[in-house]
Chain A
Amino acid sequence: MKKHLAKIAAVALTGAVVVGTTLGLTACSGGNGLPNIGDDETAKIGVLVSDVNGDEAKAFRAYYENYLEKQYNVDFTYTEALENAAGERAAIETFAAQGYHAIISLSASDRAMQIETCEANNLYYAVASGMLDDAQYEKYKGYECFVGQIGPDMTTEYEAGKAMGEYYKTTKNVSKVAIYGAFIPNPMHVYRAAGILAGLGLTYGGQSAMDAVVGQIFGDQGLTVSKISGPVTVSAYVQGFNPDVTFGEIGGAVATQPDAFLSVGMATTFFSSVFAGANVQYADIDSFTEGNVAQMSQEGGKLTYLAGKYASSIGPVFAAVYNAVHGNVIKDNGNAISIGQNYGVATTAEAAAKYQTADSGNNPIINKSLLDTVIGKDVTFDTFKAFVETDRTPA
């Protein structure tokens, strides 16, 4: 009996500590409304990220931390690589506990949950990469915390793939290509792949309409080469990345001797040396980072088409959030803003280098003087939309 009593006491003590501490300390939880800070107060913005190592992710981070932090009274704090929705929620709640004012999301495990968590914790929220689907946007566009989403939408992703396919079909006159599907069923990669097929004039499962092809790719969890038909032959298809397997698959695809290897993303990061060794030109959708531009300009580089973002393209979303925490929440007829951003395209080393040069160092493409035109108490939605949609291709 004594032994049992000791065990009960141990368990009860443990339970009491956990439950008591939790109940006692959470009793005074409560929100105080969305933040509205003065000009002399530092805006504290948490950035949710799922990728911390990619070239694009590093370029975005450098723009925020090395450029914008010096130009404005703002403090960006990045999360570690968030693996899932639970990590995203914990990160948002942690930022709230630390007194942050806003969240900018580059992580997409569960955007709906992110918005709901920000609403519950009185944090402004904006999406800087990828977009909510239409149904989600309709549901959440009226939330007070939701500042908006600025970036390539799914139609833009499709058009980016289509432009790539058309370029190789009409300008390069290819008759045989291989395709790398990266991380299909990642939605943006699915839409890009569907666009490539359309650009090459190909049907998938006998269909050519965007929604029909996209639906099939989601269903197939990738491209099935036998379902592709049309004037250009797709000699091989590879997706995913496992160093033990994928290099062999890419080698096998290269062995089919395609005229070009069209990738929906990550090709330079993973396979540039393979393509250089096999002397196969390739295309990619990524960013105008040093690595990508080098593959277009250096001897032996085989990247002949690059559609991409530039680091400072995430400047406008910062401006929207910065305005919001200072009291000017820009709305589109009372709703969160949703503005599409197009990719820049370079087919020559010079064109790619212009993007990189123009966007590097202390004078990025979207620099302080440009941002200042859309930061302030009087900025309207129309002004802001026009600013985002301005073509900023370097001269």
Chain B
Amino acid sequence: MEVKKIKFDKHTVKKLLTLLMPIIAFGVLIAVFCIVVGAKGYKLDRYIEIIFNQGLVLAIVATGATFIYTLGSFDISLGASTLFSAAVGVMVYNSTHSLVVMILVIIIVAVGCSLLSSTLASVFKLPVFVTTVAMMSVLSAISATIITKNGGALGGISIPSSVVKPLDNMGFKIAMLVIFMALCVFVFEFTKVGRRQKFLGANPFCAKLTGISLNKYAIIAFVMAGLGVGLGAFLTLVYTPSVTPTTAGSLGMQILVAIVFGGMPISGGPRSKIYAAVVGGFSYILLDNILKILIQGNAGYGISQIISAVFFLALVYVASLNYRSKNLPR
């Protein structure tokens, strides 16, 4: 059997660096985090649980969103969709007292919102990000109305904590993450969907000329994103069984950061990676917590934001090293 020798030329090194950097960075962040927490004398087991809880919803919603980003599109409304789905879910539970019905409604609403963005873009021939900006405003406003109308003196709406308490454990949450990741990996890597979406993201005109329908794959992308949003909304309620107008408020931007931290180009295309959001999401949360531990207080908050931004730019720079190659992406 002939063994193919790997040639470590400049291009290969750059490619390897680009591919492995996010995972290496993730590993380094875990190590640094453990050292910092240990040095401060804090409880590492509790902290890991906090990190997981903080990153779970982000990782799931961002993984679903990866399908949209692969197409070169951009959805800023995912945080608002999560809020809206959770708010409707709470209302439904309080009417039916059925957890199953609540979960189904949350998923349906989330997928519906996602598809509405896609349909509006298709009908009005607008860039998807334009319709998602509009959807963000509309969904936030409707959610705020639902919450404040029904929240009364509590200022928010909620389901009894006993309903979701049995699910508020690491085993269930990890299972949800694994199942959703498995579904996304299957669709993205083992069906033609992922390959064609990458093609559409890289060059929509060529893809169209080869008979690939942008609308069809956009719909699939938004359905997958909707599933992520629905599951994220449900897990948001598992974590805190109440919804206020600020729930999931920063999720939209965090998704963007997570995907870039995970080493995926924001322009989508062939370098899109389905695991980028999980790696990036947890890396972002780890970095945030490391900085919060190291630099406490109000001034620290500002400094940690700046350091996060520098880290973000450095990652984008490293990720872009390979883009400047004259070779076509492989």
| Interface residues in chain A, defined as those with a beta carbon under 8 Å from any beta carbon in chain B | 4, 7-8, 10-11, 13-15, 17-19, 21-23, 25-29, 52, 77-78, 80, 83-86, 88-90, 93-94, 96-99, 108-110, 112-113, 116, 121, 133, 136, 154, 185-187, 190, 214, 218-219, 221
Contacts and interface: CB of A to CB of B under 8 A. Distances in A.
B49 A26 contact: yes
Contacts of B236: 86
Given A15-B178, A17-B26, A80-B298, A133 B50 contact: no
B41 interface: yes
Interface string B233-253: 000100111111011111000
Contacts of B154: 133, 136, 187
Contacts of B240: 84-86, 88-89, 110, 113
A345 B42 CA distance: 45
B174 A97 contact: no
B15 to A, nearest CB: 13
Contact of B189 (A4, A86, A98): A4
Given A7-B189, A84-B244, A185-B148, A22 B49 contact: yes
Contact of A219 (B149, B241, B244): B149
Contacts of A133: 153-154
B43 interface: yes
Contact of B50 (A28, A94, A186): A94
Interface residues of B, number: 62
Contacts of A85: 156, 240, 242-244, 247
B171 to A, nearest CB: 8
Chain A contact residues: helix, strand, loop or mixed? helix
A37 to B, nearest CB: 16
A88 B282 CA distance: 19
A218 B42 contact: no
Contacts of A93: 46, 49-50, 53
B269 to A, nearest CB: 16
Contact of B239 (A14, A86, A96): A86
Contacts of B301: 80
A146 B30 CA distance: 35
A110 B242 contact: yes
27 contacts: A8-B185, A10-B273, A11-B189, A15-B181, A17-B26, A18-B282, A22-B49, A22-B51, A25-B45, A27-B45, A84-B244, A85-B242, A88-B240, A89-B240, A93-B50, A94-B50, A96-B46, A97-B42, A109-B155, A110-B244, A116-B161, A154-B153, A187-B155, A190-B153, A218-B149, A221-B148, A221-B149
B158 A110 contact: yes
A218 B279 contact: no
Contacts, number: 154
A21 B42 CA distance: 17
B50 A112 contact: no
A214 B153 CA distance: 9
Contact of B48 (A4, A22, A116): A22
B166 interface: no
B47 interface: yes
B279 A14 contact: yes
Contacts of A96: 43, 46
Contact of A218 (B41, B45, B50, B152): B152
A23 B174 contact: yes
Tell me what chain B mostly uses at the interface: helix, strand, loop, or mixed. helix
A90 B52 CA distance: 11
A89 B49 contact: no
B30 A97 contact: no
B87 interface: no
Nearest to B251: A86
A11 B30 contact: no
Interface string B141-161: 000010011011111101001
- In this complex, the member of A93, A186, A214 whose beta carbon has the largest number of chain B beta carbons within 10 angstroms is A93
Given A17-B26, A25-B48, A99-B41, A113 B242 contact: yes
A10 B278 CA distance: 12
B98 interface: no
A61 to B, nearest CB: 10
B89 to A, nearest CB: 15
B236 to A, nearest CB: 7
B254 to A, nearest CB: 12
B155 A185 contact: yes
Contacts of B51: 22
A112 B246 contact: no
Interface in B26-74: 26-27, 30, 37, 40-54
User: Of A19, A109, A186, A190, which is in contact with the most chain B CB atoms at under 10 Å from its CB?
Assistant: A109
Contacts of B139: none
B137 interface: no
B198 to A, nearest CB: 12
B244 A109 contact: yes
